Amino acid sequence: MIKRISTLFLLFTLLITLGLGCNGSSEAERLANTPVTLTIWRVFDDDSTFTGLMTRYRALHPNVSFSYRELRYDEYQDELLQAFAEGTGPDIFSLHNTWIGQYKNLLLPMPETVTIPYSEERGSIKKEIVYTLVEDPTMSTRELETKFIDVVAGDVIRNYQATTRSAIEEKIYGLPLSVDTLVLFYNKDLLNAAGIAEPAITWNEFQDQVAKLTLIDRNNNILQAGAALGTSENVERSFDILSLLMMQNGTEMTGSRGTATFGTVTGDISPGMQAVTFYTDFANPLKQVYTWNDEQTNSFDAFVSGQAAYFFGYSYHLPLIEAVAEKLNYSTAPIPQIEGGQTVNYANYWVEGVAKATDHEDWAWDFILYATDEKNVTSYLSMAKRPTALRSLVNNQLDDEDLTVFASQLLTAKSWYQGNDAGVTEEAFAELIDNTISGKVELSRAIKDAQNKVNQTY
């Protein structure tokens, strides 16, 4: 009797297996032939940089098509929130690494597995399409920490609780295609004219060089800026520069409870206040390093027009410089560090996430995993000219003339959790800079006010 049951079970299993290969008879075939359109919203990259990834994914899954939309940065968040409110949001969307807390409730964390149909042609004489439904594991938090550079895990891994009664667990809320780092752009002609053979390596050297490079007339007008920094509104990414200085100086940006602590005074010393003073001194006419003020043009414009010797920027500035100042004799160098201090660089990047409202959860996450995989992401990085987010590709980019400086800083790049409204946090830093320069508010009060404003968003 037992033998007969075993035989029947074996026959049943065989029929089920064969059935998967029969036309029109399997769930795998149905899913493989069901049209799916993944809507993707991103900023800065047009669809040409993404075409290769989408085309190759379609070759594996012909039923999947893509609707790709590039939006302007200044309209992106408004368009995104309106679309989600109206139920017309994308399946996959980019968000800045500092926005994840703000958009967490609109994001679908990565599941443990995705179930995807595959088709394969079999048979030498009689060709037959065989369909299989494969449940693939995605990526654990430990795998993410192994594959991606350190800064990524701290940004994309967040606590998740399915219900109020569920245990809290860590989930991945997105994956980056690349990670940019803040570097020093310098005008080689201006440095040569000042007798400076190499760009500064330390901040002490940087201060000395800025003093040599700055030209001021008798009326105290700045004719040539040694560096474009010290103020808020007319310095691109002034928030990033000040954050970097704070972290390099040992400022604890957030505490154990997750709230902002950059304004905390330890004894008689406040690393955060020291960083603010260092930064704003470049806009203080009473200081030897005075080189910039709020009457100057935008820092990028000053650099490309030859009015500023140093400019702080990212890899995305490279094509912008080539577009408006093709003949500018410039290069890039690593960000200066505090002499004898721990090397700290600043990360700025975008993450690809899946909308909670998507109807194609498995397909969306499968595509993100595919796009960010080492074998596939290289085409995007080459086309977009961006630094990698993967550890395994860092050494390759060290040999890339355009990206070597950016790539050299990836392993020491950091960011910090800026609350649930990164825009408010940036405004708080801008006010901190402005209040310090004007002297209307004592620095100790100004930095506390900024800290309190940030904490209101947590």
Q: Beta partners for 175?
A: 352
Is residue 441 classed as helix, strand or coil in its secondary structure? coil
DSSP-assigned letters across all residues of 22-86: STT--HHHHHHTS-EEEEEEEES--GGGTHHHHHHHHHH-TTEEEEEEEE-HHHHHHHHHHHHHH
Q: What is the pLDDT of residues 383-413, one digit of tens each?
A: 999 999 999 999 999 999 999 999 999 999 9
State in Å, rounded, how far the first CA of the chain is from the last one. Answer: 67
Long-range contacts of 188-191 (CB under 8 A, 24+ apart): 188/329, 188/330, 188/331, 189/306, 189/329, 190/224, 190/306, 190/309, 191/309
Domains of the chain: 34-109+140-179+350-393 (3.40.190.10), 180-348+418-455 (3.40.190.10)
Q: What is the pLDDT of residues 34-56, one digit of tens each?
A: 999 999 999 988 888 999 999 99
Cα separation, 312 vs 293, whole angstroms: 16
Q: What is the pLDDT of residues 315-344, one digit of tens each?
A: 999 999 999 999 999 999 999 999 999 999
Cα separation, 328 vs 347, whole angstroms: 26
For the chain, give the mean pLDDT: 93
pLDDT at 1 over 90: no
pLDDT at 234 over 50: yes
- Model pTM? 0.92
Which phi and psi (to 5°) does residue 132 adopt? -135, 145
Q: Under a CB-based contact definition with an 8 Å cutoff, are residues 213 and 196 in contact?
A: yes
Quickly state the pLDDT bin for 7 (edges 50, 70, 90): very low
Beta strand 92-96 with 113-122 is: unpaired
Residue 353 has what pLDDT? 99
What strands, in cross-sheet order, belong to the sheet with 183-187? 215-216, 222-227, 308-313, 183-187, 330-333
pLDDT at 23 over 50: no
